Amino acid sequence: MRRVAVFSAVVMGVVLLLVVGQGIALYMSDPATRLIRDRIQYVDAAALVEGELLHCPDLVTKFYSEGGYRPVWSSEKFVTPKAEAFLTVLRGADDEGLNPEDYHLAKIESLIRQWRNGDRQVDKRVNLDLLLTDTFIAFGRHVRNGRVDPRTVYPDWYNFPRRENGDGEIIDALKQDELGKALKVIQPTDSGYEKLREAFLRYRSIEERGGWPSVPGGPKLKAGDRDDRILLLWKRLFLSGDLGDGAEGGNLFDEKLERALRLFQSRHGLIADGVLGASTVEELNIPVKKRVRQLRLNLERMRWLPRALGDRYIFVNLADFSLEVVEKDKTVMAMRIIVGRDEDDQRTFVFTGNVTYLEINPFWNVPESIAVNEIIPKLKDDPHYLSSRGIRIIDGWSEPAKEVDPESIDWESLDPGQFRYRLRQDPGSRNPLGRVKFMFPNEFSIYLHDTPDRQLFERARRTFSHGCIRIEKPLDLAVYLLKGYSDWKREDILRAIASRQRQVITLPEPVPIYIFYLTAWVDRGGLVHFCRDVYSGDRILEQAMNYRPGRRAQLPGRAKFSG
């Protein structure tokens, strides 16, 4: 046994020496490998290569450490085809709505020119390799996850999961010899993103060809009218694709032009009445340059969405005041919604959740801000305000809590800042939550609900709530969510509503809900839509997208990689 142990130790020693010897031989065979290893140990958040600040120094270090410090974009004799192919991709970064100059492009091209002109110093080669690696990781992160973290620019975006980080997958992709295989890892697979990207390229092409004409203002025009402005309207709608074949009808506003104008209006969040009025003219005259900008910004937002939203989910677009239910990538239900006012404390937050239950004939627990700022002042003028609206006073927010007689409270001397009661409105026709509410528990107390104010759905701009989302078709949504639940058909829900009794129904399985914000998107029929930036999110995002960290001078004590 002792001989066997000794023999095994000798064999292991020989194997180790062979492995170490091969590593040393490989290490010594290419001086670039040695130089990369020496430099990597100094990489930190302020590392510079050829005067360029690295985007992802931590991942650059990880990649080379795991790969034995070998260069991956060049050999001693040539720049690899993979590098040439990636440079072509990088030059086309603007096709993704990204800026190629954000990715060391000028410096990389300069180093490659020097290489081709015979300047093949090892430090130049190493710098080229480091910059290409850093660029691939940064570009991969941005295409896959978004260039901007929404939580750094939007205070009302909470708990919104960006696409899974995937740094490990990006590192693995970088190890692929073929760029095509590597790019598959970082490219979004979402069909909505690809459609929006195609729209972005199409509108950018319109901009490059000179854009579209303006349509002068004036009296309203409708089908049957004749006017010199109509010829410009024909041209404008043809260029944006609303007219189809684009056959012009001169100065006559005919039925074909009316259909095209209705399509344009529906795509731009307007009331589709087919009449050329002031609001439609305003929308027609928005320059194509601004539309290209909108598309670019919303490509970025689309990159924030998870890669897989699920087989069945609810998608709310706050900017468009719309909700759709999607099942297996098909819209099975759509409706108008009302969202929070454009005020700092009343906007509807952007976040995700899971709808787990619904309430029929819900109580409305009046938010404290509404109770103090809106209801108490009315009580001082009308002592019967509460009873006439079925609002009860509860002694606190805990359960159970006792009901309080409103006449026992001295409303005149009550300090609103010390208000400790809960106001709860009974179910009924005047209850702001209507007959059904849909719950996806969250820290913001936001939910979907019915509303008695049905007339507000006819407005084009629907920012009327205190933050919750009022929906146009609550009964239809309830029937859909309870589909397959044998105890709850449409007639059962109607019967429960008629009882005026509060009832909680747990869904058979949770349904994901995404509350999002898009000012440009492509629907499942291929139509490009635009809407107003009701929460001023585009302006904020554009500032973040245009920010470029400047090149830094050498910092004391920091590593500087340069030739």
Quote the CA–CA distance of 173 and 142 in Å, as a whole number: 15
Q: Three-class SS of residue 87?
A: helix
Quote the CA–CA distance of 25 and 48 in Å, as a whole number: 30
Tokens 């002694």 belong to which residue? 395
* One-letter amino acid for residue 265 of the chain: Q
Quote the CA–CA distance of 493 and 506 in Å, as a whole number: 13
Which own/partner pairs from 262-267 qualify as long-range (CB within 8 Å, at least 24 positions apart)?
A: 263/527, 264/237, 264/240, 267/242, 267/527, 267/528, 267/529, 267/530
In a 13 Å sphere around the CA of 536, the CA atoms on its Cβ side amount to: 9
Alpha-helical (H) ranges within 177-242 are: 179-186, 191-208, 229-239
C-beta separation of 462 from 451 below 8 A: no
Q: Which two tokens stand for residue 111?
A: 């180093």
* One-letter amino acid for residue 48 of the chain: L
Please return the burial class of 92, using the count of CB atoms within 10 Å of its CB with bins 0-12, 13-18 and 19+.
exposed
Question: Catalytic residues, which ones?
Answer: 449, 468
Quote the CA–CA distance of 544 and 132 in Å, as a whole number: 24
Give the strand pairing for 48-49 and 560-561: parallel
Q: Which among 298, 328, 297 has a CA at the least distance from the CA of 313?
A: 328
* One-letter amino acid for residue 67 of the chain: G
User: Which residues does 381 contact at the CB level (< 8 Å), separation at least 6?
Assistant: none
Q: Three-class SS of residue 530?
A: strand
